[in-house]
């Protein structure tokens, strides 16, 4: 930065000296403008005056400008006038530009655009530099050169080819992101010297899609890892047919309910829109005053044909009364409750969860 500013300052001083050596300065009556005349030119002839509002240099005073210097020489007044006006406009535009550039660089340093340009030029020269491959002469007497940009292009196709052999969903997505990233570098720093914007934008889209899917998977993995120990134990005992991530999504969709011994959960003939599962304690199913069966831990309640794919939404009439039962009045009965419509929507949207849940419900009926 200091080197750039010193170069610009030296150039400004040189331009100022050349400009002042060809003209002399005279103040106007108001003192607000400065009028320059060529020394050899007759003041009686017509000459367009150039007004400069004290913008030659902020640190140069008008009284300090030397008056003795060489003159303009011209054969005719018209040629002299044309050369004078062109020289004045060119030199003053250059001096003002250098002053503004130097002031901005000295006050705020290199701008972000210039810094980005410098980094791009460095990467371009580094990645596009030809490098000779060290191939022994007994293999081939020819010399082969390769750039790092071409290496990224070859690596992209190799990584994508490896991804086709992967059976794991996460590994497939990760290798796809790595291959598309390598292709981004190749298309931006192309050996032909031009950016290939069409494949560059498509690879950006592929990276965004695969990154979203990977982030979604790891998000649900974090949710599943945060389950309580008793829910993890229920998964290992009863829901091992489900994927652990799918089980975590089901559990996080539910709401936990706590009942005391003897509390009525749902009465016979009432409209019920919830599906429940016992995670601690038992639930007695009573129909017409008779105990029909007992629902234990890990069993579903009011699933109403969901094991057969009947995704009934809304309210369903309860065929029996459900009473919480623990055998100990101090012990709480804990249940998980799903809204039937929300559960049906999740099962319809996620194919893997639908298959796993149907398998778990069928196993619940068999046992």
Q: How far apart are CA 34 and CA 27, in angstroms?
A: 5
Would you state the pLDDT for residue 326? Answer: 76
Kindly state whether residue 326 falls inside one of the protein's structural domains: yes
| Stated pTM of the model | 0.54
Task: Assess contact for 278 and 230: CB atoms under 8 A.
Answer: no
Residue written as token pair 């598309």: 180
Q: How many domains does the chain have?
A: 3
| CB-based contact 258:334 (threshold 8 Å) | yes
Task: Tell me: do 268 and 214 sit in the same domain.
Answer: no
Q: Tell me, what DSSP letter sits at residue 48?
A: P
- Residue 184's pLDDT is 93
Q: Are residues 255 and 354 in the same domain?
A: yes
Domain around 165: 146-223
Higher pLDDT, 64 or 171: 171
Q: Within this chain, do residues 247 and 360 fall inside the same structural domain, yes or no?
A: yes
Other CB atoms within 10 A of residue 276 CB: 23
d(CA 321, CA 295) in angstroms, rounded, equals 12
What residues contact 307, with CB distance under 8 A and at least 6 apart? 358, 361, 362, 364, 365
pLDDT tens per residue across span 250-300: 888 888 888 888 888 888 888 888 888 888 888 888 888 888 888 888 777
* pLDDT greater at residue 229 or residue 9: 229
Whether 208 is in a domain gets the answer: yes
CA 108/CA 141 separation, integer angstroms: 55
Q: Considering the domain boundaries, does residue 127 fall inside one?
A: no
The answer to whether residues 197 and 274 belong to one domain is: no
Is the residue at 132 inside a domain? no
Residue 259 shares a structural domain with residue 341: yes
Q: Is the pLDDT of residue 101 over 70?
A: no
Rounded mean pLDDT of 81-110? 52
Question: Has residue 201 been placed in a domain?
Answer: yes
Q: In this model, does residue 157 exceed pLDDT 90? A: yes
Same domain, 241 and 325: yes
Give the closest residue to 237 by CA, choosing from 283, 306, 296, 282.
Answer: 296
Asked whether the predicted pLDDT for residue 50 surpasses 50, the reply is no
- Indicate whether 216 and 261 sit together in one domain: no
Note whether 28 and 60 are same-domain residues: yes
Query: Is residue 331 pLDDT above 50, yes or no?
Result: yes
Task: For residues 158 and 175, state if they share a domain.
Answer: yes
pLDDT, tens digit, for every residue of 12-41? 556 555 555 555 444 444 554 444 444 444
Q: Of 88, 109, 130, at which residue does a domain stop? A: 109
What is the crossing angle of helices 169-188 and 148-164, to 10°? 160
Considering 223, 246, 261, which residue would you say is the last residue of a domain?
Answer: 223
For residue 321, the domain's CATH number is 2.60.120.10
Of 109, 133, 161, which residue is a domain's last? 109
Query: Does 122 map to a domain?
Result: no
Tokens at residue 203, please?
């690879």
Indicate if 100 and 62 belong to the same structural domain: yes
Average pLDDT, integer, range 90-95: 54
From residue 215, how far is each of 32, 159, 162, 207, 246 by CA, in Å?
66, 21, 22, 12, 15
207 within domain boundaries:
yes
Give the whole-number percent of the chain exceeding pLDDT 90.
12
Q: 118 lies in a domain?
A: no
Query: Of the given ranges (106-120, 271-285, 314-328), which has the lowest mean pLDDT?
Result: 106-120
Residues 213 and 235 in one domain: no
Tens digit of each residue's pLDDT (9 = 90 or more) over 194-245: 889 999 999 999 999 999 999 988 998 888 888 888 888 888 887 777 788 8
**Residue 347 and residue 235 share a domain:** yes
């Amino acid at each position: 930065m200091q080197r750039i500013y010193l170069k610009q300052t030296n150039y400004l001083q040189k331009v100022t000296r050349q400009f002042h050596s060809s003209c002399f300065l005279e103040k106007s009556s108001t003192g607000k403008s400065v009028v320059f005349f060529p020394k050899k030119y007759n003041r009686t002839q017509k000459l367009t005056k150039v007004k400069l509002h004290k913008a030659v240099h902020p640190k140069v005073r008008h009284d300090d400008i030397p008056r003795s210097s060489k003159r303009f020489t011209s054969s005719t007044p018209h040629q002299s006038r044309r050369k004078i006006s062109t020289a004045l406009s060119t030199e003053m535009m250059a001096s003002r530009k250098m002053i503004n550039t130097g002031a901005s660089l000295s006050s705020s340093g290199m701008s972000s655009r210039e810094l980005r340009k410098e980094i791009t030029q460095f990467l371009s020269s580094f990645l596009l530099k030809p490098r000779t491959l060290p191939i022994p002469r007994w293999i081939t007497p020819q010399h082969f050169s390769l750039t790092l940009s071409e290496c990224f292009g070859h690596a992209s196709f190799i990584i994508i080819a490896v991804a086709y052999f992967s059976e794991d969903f996460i590994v497939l997505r990760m290798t796809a992101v790595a291959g598309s990233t390598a292709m981004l570098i190749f298309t931006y720093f192309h050996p032909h010297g031009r950016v290939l914007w069409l494949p560059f934008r498509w690879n950006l889209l592929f990276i965004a899609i695969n990154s979203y899917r990977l982030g979604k998977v790891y998000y649900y993995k974090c949710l599943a890892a945060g389950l309580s120990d008793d829910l993890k134990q229920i998964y290992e005992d009863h829901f091992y047919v489900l994927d652990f991530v799918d089980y975590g999504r089901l559990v996080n969709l539910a709401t936990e309910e706590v009942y005391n011994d003897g509390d009525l959960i749902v009465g016979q003939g009432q409209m019920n829109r919830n599906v429940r599962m016992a995670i601690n304690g038992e639930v007695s199913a009573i129909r017409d005053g008779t105990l029909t069966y007992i629902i234990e831990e890990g069993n579903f309640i009011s699933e109403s044909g969901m094991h057969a794919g009947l995704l009934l939404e809304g309210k369903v009439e309860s065929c029996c009364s459900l009473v919480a039962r623990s055998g100990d009045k101090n012990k709480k009965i804990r249940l998980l409750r799903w809204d039937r419509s929300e559960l049906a929507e999740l099962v319809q949207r996620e194919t893997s969860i639908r298959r796993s849940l149907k398998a778990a419900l069928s196993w619940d009926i068999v046992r």
